[in-house]
């Protein structure tokens, strides 16, 4: 008699546990669904379509933004300076820029709109690279050496770090700005203009530099400089945004960090993706990406380069302001939270 009674009790317990587990599963699946659909925070990020943006494209492609609760829209611009303007105007939430537009926006009054209430802040640097910006001349324009660019049509994307690069290049080779014919043109347009002979000299970053140098070969020559320029690709936000949405900024950096790890572990896949996203030949992207370390950082180098930019602006008379220290532009809070190992800057 006891045995059936025990069995009934056991069956009842089993049924209860099963029902409980089913309920929990349904609840969890419902909440997960809600979070996926309703809790994703919309974020618009201004980016430039070049290989320094690999982490952004990978994070979007692999869903790392969504994993961190963000619904990221990538706003593709021609240069970081454009993204800075959109950031200041409130069109986007986060901008990816080089140090030149960042410093321009902060120090050079002509770039700051009168009604701007917020200061721009740097939360992280995304890449470490040297020599990914180059001055390239056409052989058939009679250019083989730096000195040969005198009187030639030199294309320049204004308000970008390329402006600093060209300035240093001219300074090193003692060529006055007035000795060249400057043609203002964004980097993307420079490629076509260089290949069809509209310009004699292109000042570009990768992967366009490789594209011009090797496709086709013997068309172009890289003009040497001993003042190699280091490239940064900064994540910048406005003060107010970081104060109001700290979790978004942290989540955004976490997404990039994961994407960078993925790139290091899957370089071929990343190259393929970047080739598709930038429309640049696979071999070009492969060569170009080999020159870049994808790693979040805030280092002394970052500070040095920012200082260099500031000095350059003062030297060229772009700004008289030197009151504000460049270190004040950097907000360490998010890197400290997300990737403290990347901070090597002495504070």
Partner 1 sequence: MSIKARLNIIVFLSVVTIAGLYLYIVKITLDIDQELAQVEKIERFEKDVFQLGLVTEYYLTDQDERYETAWISLMNSVEELSGQIEVFKQHHIVAESIPSIHEAFNLILEINNEPELYPDAELRAELLQRASIRIRADVRQLIASSGKIFDEHLENIRILQVDQRLDFLYVLIPAILALILLAYFMQKKIITSLYKLREGARLFAMGRLDQRIELKQDDELGELAGQFNDMAAELDTLIEREKLLNQKLEKQAEELKLSNEELENFASVASHDLKEPLRMIRNFMELLEKKYADQLDETANRYIRFAVDGSRRMTSLINDLLEFSRIGRVYNEFEYVDLNQLLEEVIQLYEPLIEENGTRVKVDAMPKVKAVPISLKLVFQNLIGNAIKYQDDESNPEIEIGLKSLDTHWQFWVKDNGIGIEEEYRDQVFQIFKRLHGPDEYPGTGMGLATCKKIVEQHNGTIWVESKKGEGSTFYFTISKNLNS
Task: Output the CA angle 137-140-142, nearest 5 degrees.
Answer: 70
290 scored as a contact of partner 1 (CB under 8 A) = yes
Q: Which of residues 221-280 bind partner 1 (CB under 8 A)?
A: 226-228, 230
| Dist. CA 61–CA 65, nearest whole Å | 9
> Is-contact 159 100, C-beta < 8 A?
yes
Residue 68 vs 168, nearer CB to partner 1:
168
Q: From the list 281, 307, 327, 337, which residue makes contact with partner 1 (rule: CB under 8 A)?
A: 307
Shortest distance, position 297 Cβ to partner 1, whole Å: 8
171 scored as a contact of partner 1 (CB under 8 A) = yes
Residue 158 vs 227, nearer CB to partner 1:
227
Shortest distance, position 116 Cβ to partner 1, whole Å: 29
Q: From the list 2, 6, 174, 268, which residue makes contact with partner 1 (rule: CB under 8 A)?
A: 174
| Dist. CA 127–CA 107, nearest whole Å | 23
Per-residue binding letters, 17-46, with partner 1 (x by CB under 8 A): ------------------------------
Shortest distance, position 235 Cβ to partner 1, whole Å: 18
Q: From the list 308, 319, 332, 337, which residue makes contact with partner 1 (rule: CB under 8 A)?
A: 308
Shortest distance, position 305 Cβ to partner 1, whole Å: 6
Q: Please name the residue that has the structure tokens 């320094």.
A: 52
- List for the chain the helix, strand, coil content (%; round to 5): 55, 20, 25
Per-residue binding letters, 131-150, with partner 1 (x by CB under 8 A): x-------------------
Residue 174 vs 196, nearer CB to partner 1:
174
Of 132, 160, 131, 127, which Cα lies nearest the Cα of 55?
A: 127
Among the residue ranges 9-17, 28-36, 82-90, 170-178, the one whose residues contact partner 1 (CB under 8 A): 170-178
Q: Which of residues 92-131 bind partner 1 (CB under 8 A)?
A: 128-131
Give the H or E element holding residue 124.
Answer: strand 120-130
Shortest distance, position 203 Cβ to partner 1, whole Å: 17
How far is Cα of residue 124 from the mean position of the Cα atoms in its chain? 10
Shortest distance, position 127 Cβ to partner 1, whole Å: 9
Specify the pairing of strand 94-97 against strand 133-138.
Answer: unpaired
Of 197, 203, 209, 207, which Cα lies nearest the Cα of 184?
A: 203
Q: From the list 16, 34, 89, 304, which residue makes contact with partner 1 (rule: CB under 8 A)?
A: 304
Dihedral sign, CA of 63, 67, 73, 76?
A: negative
| Dist. CA 95–CA 236, nearest whole Å | 5
Among the residue ranges 7-15, 103-111, 220-228, 248-256, the one whose residues contact partner 1 (CB under 8 A): 220-228
| Dist. CA 217–CA 166, nearest whole Å | 23
Strands (E) in 224-340, as ranges, are: 230-231, 234-238, 292-297
Q: How many residues bind partner 1 (CB under 8 A)?
A: 30
The DSSP result for 107-154, as a single string, is H-GGGS-TT----EEEEEEEEEEES-EEEEEEGGGT-SSGGGGTTSEE
Dihedral sign, CA of 96, 100, 103, 109?
A: negative
Q: From the list 33, 67, 140, 172, which residue makes contact with partner 1 (rule: CB under 8 A)?
A: 172
Sites of contact with partner 1 (CB under 8 A)? 128-131, 168, 171-172, 174, 226-228, 230, 290-293, 297, 299-301, 303-305, 307-308, 311-312, 315, 341, 344
């Amino acid at each position: 008699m006891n045995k059936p009674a025990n069995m009934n009790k056991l069956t009842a317990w089993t049924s209860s546990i099963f029902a409980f587990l089913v309920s929990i599963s349904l609840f969890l699946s419902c909440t997960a669904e809600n979070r996926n659909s309703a809790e994703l925070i919309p974020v618009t990020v201004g980016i430039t379509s070049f290989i320094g943006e690999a982490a952004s494209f990978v994070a979007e492609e692999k869903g790392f933004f969504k994993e961190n609760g963000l619904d990221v829209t990538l706003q593709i611009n021609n240069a970081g300076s454009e993204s800075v303007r959109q950031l200041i105007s409130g069109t986007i939430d986060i901008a990816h820029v080089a140090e030149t537009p960042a410093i321009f926006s902060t120090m050079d009054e002509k770039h700051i709109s009168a009604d701007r209430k917020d200061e721009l802040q740097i939360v992280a640097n995304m890449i470490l690279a040297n020599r990914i910006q180059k001055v390239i001349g056409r052989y058939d324009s009679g250019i083989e050496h730096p000195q040969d660019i005198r009187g030639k049509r030199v294309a320049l994307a204004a308000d970008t770090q390329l402006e600093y690069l060209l300035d240093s290049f001219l300074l090193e080779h003692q060529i006055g700005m007035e000795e060249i014919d400057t043609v203002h043109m964004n980097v993307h347009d420079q490629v076509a203009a260089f290949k069809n002979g509209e310009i004699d000299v292109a000042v570009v970053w990768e992967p366009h530099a490789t594209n011009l140098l090797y496709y086709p070969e013997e068309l172009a020559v890289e003009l040497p400089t001993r003042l190699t320029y280091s490239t940064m690709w900064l994540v910048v936000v406005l003060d107010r945004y970081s104060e109001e949405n700290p979790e978004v900024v942290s989540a955004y950096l976490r997404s990039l960090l994961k994407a960078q790890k993925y790139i290091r572990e899957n370089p071929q896949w990343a190259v393929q993706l970047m080739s598709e996203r930038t429309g640049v030949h696979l071999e070009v992207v492969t060569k170009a990406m080999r020159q870049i370390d994808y790693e979040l950082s805030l280092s002394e180098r970052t500070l040095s380069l920012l200082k260099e930019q500031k000095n350059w602006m003062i030297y060229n008379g772009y700004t008289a302001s030197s009151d504000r220290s460049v270190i004040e532009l950097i907000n360490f809070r998010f890197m400290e939270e997300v990737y403290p190992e990347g901070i090597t800057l002495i504070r």
